């Protein structure tokens, strides 16, 4: 017990001084191939493994009109057969040697990543280059993966009590921007998609000048450059321009309210959503920390006031979705037996206005910074964590090197910054209120 207490005390002390410690910057090497593909690498020989990520600048916002969910569906397609590899080859190249692989689709990008022993780096580079240019988009594989994604929609959106509530947050928030379409899509548009649509999507977005290769771990830089030139260098850059989203989200000028219903909703839920700035904004660091102060743990403002104090919510949290073109953020809660959407809204506005008028304490801000910095340091302990941070910097800042400035930006935030951003963005005209409750059936409907 004494040893545990000593270790715990050291951990707490490390958090208290973390904000004063400078984290060594990542030694990033960048280059661009003649075909436009960007290469970002960080050498770390701490352990004999390597993380490989291929980042494509295509996400849910790039889904063609009438084809929502297409970027996500194509993420699934990329694990099917190519001209040189059978289905599921990436599982064999990674899992069979003690590694792993996966992929994910976001509103702004799609990524594919693997972690393997470093002596398997070359074959991963070859495989990634092969599926960039040689994927077989067959009718059989297309229908198979379309059905998988449709089932994901049923299980993730339709089946859970609050699945549709979370899905509606984007649709009800954004007025015109494609962010209003959920990345997972919808059943109707997925069902109408064709193999030809998929082939066109592949040829449009899966090209070297729309990709970034990120390699972090135990490798020789000259050898990496040689392999990259060998496998990715010959891939031609198409002559056609890459389509880009040109729709700007208009300014929110008045509050909007929506009442939605769904089956099997045990308690009402509410989301009070505000538009957040683009990820290049200097306010992002302060908004991140404000979110932590509001809902970062049992001592946070929302927990103390709404969940533990008034006990009108089973859960209450600050939700922040960052997107390159501007996202959404705000208060989300699921009511308890004592609560209601009306009481939850009043409670949120009480918490909000207190911060807007009185600000937050230095202790609250220090705790939020320590939590954020501890998480960032932990991410830097693994090759894939570092690769993920670089990927995020590329996506949201347009610069891999931004990963080395992020922690300084967090540490520079002041209590005045928190008060300023809470007053700037959390205004009535910049607000959407979404209430979600149990659907009711008429007597005639019940008789049927």
CATH number, domain of 310, equals 3.30.830.10
Q: Is residue 250 part of a domain?
A: no
Question: Per the structure, how many domains does the chain have?
Answer: 2
Residues 65 and 113 in one domain: yes
Which pLDDT does position 440 carry in this prediction? 84
Question: 4 pLDDT exceeds 60?
Answer: no
Q: Is residue 110 part of a domain?
A: yes
- The number of C-alpha atoms within 13 Å of 298 and in the hemisphere containing its C-beta is 1
Residues 263 and 227 in one domain: no
Residues 260 and 219 in one domain: no
d(CA 387, CA 394): 11
Q: Is residue 373 part of a domain?
A: yes
Residues 309 and 359 in one domain: yes
State pTM to two decimals: 0.91
Question: 442 pLDDT exceeds 60?
Answer: no
pLDDT band of 22, cuts 50, 70, 90: confident
Q: Is residue 248 part of a domain?
A: no
Which pLDDT does position 223 carry in this prediction? 99
Sheet holding 256-262, edge to edge: 256-262, 431-438, 269-275, 328-335, 313-321
pLDDT digits (tens, 9 = 90+) for 236-266: 999 999 999 999 999 999 999 999 999 999 9
pLDDT > 90: what percent of the chain? 92
Residues 298 and 193 in one domain: no
pLDDT digits (tens, 9 = 90+) for 186-202: 999 999 999 999 999 99
CB contact at 8 A, 121 and 50: yes
Q: Is residue 4 part of a domain?
A: no
Which of 231, 264, 280 is the last residue in one of the domains? 231
pLDDT digits (tens, 9 = 90+) for 274-309: 999 999 999 999 999 999 999 999 999 999 999 999
Residues 168 and 270 in one domain: no
| Active-site annotation, residues | 75
pLDDT digits (tens, 9 = 90+) for 131-186: 999 999 999 999 999 999 999 999 999 999 999 999 999 999 999 999 999 999 99
Residues 49 and 167 in one domain: yes
Q: Is residue 107 part of a domain?
A: yes
Residues 174 and 267 in one domain: no
Which pLDDT does position 370 carry in this prediction? 97
Residues 277 and 418 in one domain: yes
Question: 441 pLDDT exceeds 90?
Answer: no
Average pLDDT value for the chain? 93
Which pLDDT does position 171 carry in this prediction? 96
Residues 179 and 217 in one domain: yes
Residues 214 and 266 in one domain: no
Residues contacting residue 24 through CB under 8 Å, at least 6 positions apart: none
Residues 278 and 159 in one domain: no
d(CA 236, CA 92): 28
pLDDT band of 21, cuts 50, 70, 90: low
Question: 378 pLDDT exceeds 50?
Answer: yes
Q: Is residue 64 part of a domain?
A: yes
Question: 436 pLDDT exceeds 80?
Answer: yes
* Structural domain that includes position 43: 28-231
pLDDT band of 349, cuts 50, 70, 90: very high
pLDDT digits (tens, 9 = 90+) for 66-93: 999 999 999 999 999 999 999 999 999 9
How far apart are the two ends of the chain, measured CA to CA in Å?
Answer: 65
pLDDT digits (tens, 9 = 90+) for 393-404: 999 999 999 999
Lowest mean pLDDT among 4-13, 19-28, 312-321, 432-441: 4-13
Question: 16 pLDDT exceeds 50?
Answer: no
Which pLDDT does position 20 carry in this prediction? 56
Backbone angles phi and psi of 301, in degrees to 5: -60, -45
Which of 231, 246, 276 is the last residue in one of the domains? 231
d(CA 161, CA 54): 35
Q: Is residue 299 part of a domain?
A: yes
- Cα dihedral sign, 181-422-271-163: positive
Which of 215, 231, 247 is the last residue in one of the domains? 231
């Amino acid at each position: 017990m004494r040893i545990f207490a000593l270790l715990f005390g050291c951990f707490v002390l490390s958090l208290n001084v973390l904000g004063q410690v400078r984290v060594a910057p990542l030694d990033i090497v960048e280059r661009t191939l003649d075909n436009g593909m960007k290469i970002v690498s960080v050498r770390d020989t701490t352990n004999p493994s390597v993380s490989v990520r291929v980042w494509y600048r295509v996400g849910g916002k790039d889904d063609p009109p009438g084809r929502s969910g297409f970027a996500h569906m194509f993420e699934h397609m990329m694990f099917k057969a190519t001209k040189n590899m059978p289905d599921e080859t990436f599982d064999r190249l990674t899992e069979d040697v003690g590694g792993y692989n996966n992929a994910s689709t976001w509103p702004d990008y799609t990524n594919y990543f693997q972690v393997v022993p470093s002596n398997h780096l070359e074959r991963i580079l070859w495989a990634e280059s092969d599926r960039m240019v040689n994927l077989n988009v067959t009718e059989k594989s297309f229908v198979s993966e379309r059905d998988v994604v449709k089932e994901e929609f049923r299980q993730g959106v339709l089946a859970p009590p609050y699945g549709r509530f979370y899905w509606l947050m984007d649709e009800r928030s954004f007025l015109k921007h494609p962010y209003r379409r959920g990345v997972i899509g919808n059943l109707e548009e997925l069902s109408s998609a064709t193999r030809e649509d998929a082939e066109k999507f592949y040829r449009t977005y899966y090209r070297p000048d729309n990709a970034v290769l990120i390699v972090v771990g135990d490798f020789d830089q000259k050898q990496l450059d040689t392999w990259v030139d060998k496998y990715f260098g010959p891939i031609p850059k198409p002559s056609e321009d890459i389509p880009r989203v040109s729709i700007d989200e208009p300014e929110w000028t008045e509050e909007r309210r929506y009442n939605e219903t769904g089956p099997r909703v045990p308690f009402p839920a509410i989301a009070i959503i505000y538009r957040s700035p683009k990820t290049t904004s200097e306010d992002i660091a302060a908004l991140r920390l404000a979110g932590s102060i509001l809902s970062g743990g049992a001592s946070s403002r929302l927990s103390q006031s709404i969940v533990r104090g008034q006990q009108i919510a089973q859960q209450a949290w600050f939700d922040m979705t960052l997107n390159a073109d501007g996202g959404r953020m705000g208060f989300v809660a699921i009511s308890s037996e004592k609560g209601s959407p009306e009481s939850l809204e009043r409670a949120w506005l009480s918490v909000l206005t207190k911060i807007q008028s009185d600000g937050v304490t230095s202790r609250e801000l220090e705790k939020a910074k320590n939590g954020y910095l501890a998480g960032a340091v932990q991410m830097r302990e693994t090759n894939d964590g570092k690769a993920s941070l670089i990927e995020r910097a590329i996506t949201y800042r347009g610069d891999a090197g931004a990963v080395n400035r992020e922690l300084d930006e967090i540490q520079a935030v002041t209590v005045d910054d928190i008060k300023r951003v809470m007053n700037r963005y959390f205004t009535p005209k910049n607000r959407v209120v979404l209430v979600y409750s149990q659907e009711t059936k008429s007597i005639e409907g019940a008789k049927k």
